[in-house]
């Protein structure tokens, strides 16, 4: 991990930008860092914070779940017993806004109806996970807040009809989270976000935070800006592997997306009992999943644009 200054740090990353099924989750984490970069790197690695793509394979969420739940408990005093409770505690979006585009009938049940008890993947936190969470705190890195946004496929479709791509939506949600977590921090922060679709230029989007954005650098690996009233905001390639705050955000985001997929799956499996799970990405299992649920979705009048991008 590269060197990071002490102080209040925001890390933001997305999960689910490119799949066929399930929501796009963008997550932010606020860390209060009072230790040197080497101690932070060791403590983050020990607790299991790192590249979420390597840590969070679909179907292998048990250890990730235990890590996330231990961190939420030790640092934030949160012990959600269900996904609904976790969603209510951490989601930035009001419930009415999330359901604003929901059609009448069965579609809202598919996304919101089936509650999921936690731990959902067998990942009850053990002493190893709690010790790791405490070690991060004792090393001088305290998680002050975690927030996420959830953007459903129908909303992504509506944004596309207005000329905004999913990359545009992803970037807008990142800005929303930086603004919200700066509010949680009560002042200026250093913010690092994962790169959005390989873009080099982000100044136009950051104007939503402040009109006087100063460009520090813009390149393939890193684009950095000074935003008055906010602080430093950088977009970094593969930031989840190099920045602990982004790594934590990505870890939580992947967990929330997997829970979202599980909730949809449980709703559909109630009508197709032998239905196996799918990642929702571009793979043969997902293709078969879409075909296997086509009839029941049609019978329940679930619009295709609610289910698939």
- Would you kindly state where each structural domain of the chain is located, as residue ranges? 7-307
Q: Residue 164: its pLDDT value, please?
A: 96
User: Could you tell me if 27 and 139 are in contact, meaning their C-beta atoms sit under 8 angstroms apart?
Assistant: no
pLDDT at 237: 95
Question: What pLDDT sits at residue 247?
Answer: 94
**Exposed/middle/buried for residue 69 (C-beta within 10 Å: 0-12, 13-18, 19+):** buried
The two tokens of residue 224 are: 């950095």
The pLDDT score that the predictor gives to residue 189 is: 92
pLDDT value at position 52? 53
If you search the block for the tokens 């129908």, which residue do you land on? 154
Query: In this predicted structure, what is the pLDDT of residue 51?
Result: 53
Q: What pLDDT is attached to residue 5? A: 60
The model's pTM is 0.94
What is d(CA 169, CA 105) in angstroms, rounded to the nearest whole number? Answer: 27
**What count of residues does the chain have?**
309
Report the pLDDT value the prediction gives residue 88, as an integer from 0 to 100. Answer: 97
CATH code of the region 7-307: 3.30.420.10
pLDDT along the chain (309 residues), means of 10: 69 96 98 88 86 57 95 98 98 96 93 94 94 94 97 97 96 96 92 93 93 96 95 94 93 96 97 96 98 97 96
From CA 31, how far away is CA 189, in angstroms rounded?
10
Q: What is the pLDDT of residue 37?
A: 81
């Amino acid at each position: 991990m590269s060197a990071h200054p002490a102080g209040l740090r925001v890390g933001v990353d997305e999960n689910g930008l490119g799949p066929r099924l399930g929501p796009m989750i963008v997550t932010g984490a606020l860390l209060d860092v009072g230790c040197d970069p080497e101690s932070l790197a060791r403590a983050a690695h020990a607790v299991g914070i790192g590249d979420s793509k390597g840590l969070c394979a679909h179907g292998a969420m048990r250890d990730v779940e235990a890590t996330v739940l231990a961190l939420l408990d030790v640092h934030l005093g949160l012990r959600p017993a269900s996904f609904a409770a976790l969603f209510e505690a951490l989601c930035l979006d009001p419930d009415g806004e999330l359901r604003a585009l929901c059609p009448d009938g069965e579609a809202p049940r598919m996304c919101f109806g089936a509650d999921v008890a936690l731990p959902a993947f067998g990942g009850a936190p053990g002493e190893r996970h709690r010790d790791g969470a405490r070690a991060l705190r004792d090393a001088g890195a305290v998680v002050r807040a975690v927030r996420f946004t959830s953007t459903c496929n129908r909303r992504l479709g509506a944004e596309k009809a207005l000329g905004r791509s999913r990359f545009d939506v992803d970037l807008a949600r990142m800005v929303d989270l930086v603004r919200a977590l700066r509010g949680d921090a009560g002042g200026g922060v250093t913010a690092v976000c994962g790169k959005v679709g390989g873009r080099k230029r982000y100044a136009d989007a950051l104007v939503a935070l402040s009109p006087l954005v100063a460009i520090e650098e813009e390149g393939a690996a890193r684009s950095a800006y000074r935003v008055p009233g906010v602080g430093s905001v950088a977009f970094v390639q593969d930031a989840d592997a190099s920045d602990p705050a982004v790594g934590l955000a990505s870890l939580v985001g992947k967990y929330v997306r997997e829970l979202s997929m599980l909730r949809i799956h449980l709703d559909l499996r109630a009508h197709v009992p032998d239905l196996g799970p799918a990642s929702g990405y571009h793979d043969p299992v997902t293709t078969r999943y879409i075909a296997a649920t086509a009839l029941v979705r049609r019978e329940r009048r679930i619009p295709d644009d609610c289910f698939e991008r």
